Amino acid sequence: MIELKFQKPIETYADNAYDGKKFKFLYTLKYVSSSPKLDEETEHKILISISDLLLKRWNYKNEDDLFKIFFLFAFQLIQKKLVEGNLKEVEKLILQTNTPNVDEKYDPQKIGDFVNKVFTLDLEEIKKDKSKIKMGFQISK
């Protein structure tokens, strides 16, 4: 079993050549075993880049709503990388108008708060059936 705990994304400033915004999304990952002494917690981050064009298209009311959407994409990325066995300490997530699933208009009110909450994943179950990789709002808390 794996536990994930997310922090609130922090804006980092992009260079002048980038047409968009960049954020650092920190989270901890903990492998939970039957022996608490073997539990291992590691810190990770996802560097999120989002284009100005996509920000305008989504047009969320505030930053907190936008962060909930980041959570959806980040959670899905983490699951995919865990299944593939190649999750790195630092991952990159680029959100542009041609990124899969960005044409959806997600309702932040249905997502709920994710900051400092623990989310669990059964990695073996997901490996058996990759269709169980979910967007963040579909997971059980």
* Phi, psi of 62, deg, nearest 5: -150, 175
What is the mean predicted confidence (pLDDT) over 54-71? 91
What is the mean predicted confidence (pLDDT) over 89-99? 92
- pLDDT reading at 91 higher than 90: yes
40-50 pLDDT tens trace: 889 999 999 99
6-39 pLDDT tens trace: 999 999 976 777 788 999 999 999 988 766 666 7
* pTM confidence score: 0.84
Predicted pLDDT at 134 = 62
Contact status, residue 2 vs residue 32, Cβ threshold 8 Å:
yes
Q: Distance between alpha carbon 138 and the CA centroid of its chain, in Å?
A: 13
Domain limits at 108? 2-138
What is the mean predicted confidence (pLDDT) over 104-129? 86
In 3D, which of 57, 64, 55, 60 has the Cα closest to residue 112?
64
d(CA 73, CA 102): 9
Higher pLDDT, 77 or 137: 77
- SS3 state at 11: strand
CA angle 80, 86, 92 (to 5 degrees): 70
Q: 27 CB contacts (<8 Å, ≥6 apart)? A: 4, 5, 6, 7, 43, 44, 45, 46, 74, 78
User: What is the count of structural domains for the chain?
Assistant: 1
Predicted pLDDT at 139 = 41
Predicted pLDDT at 7 = 97
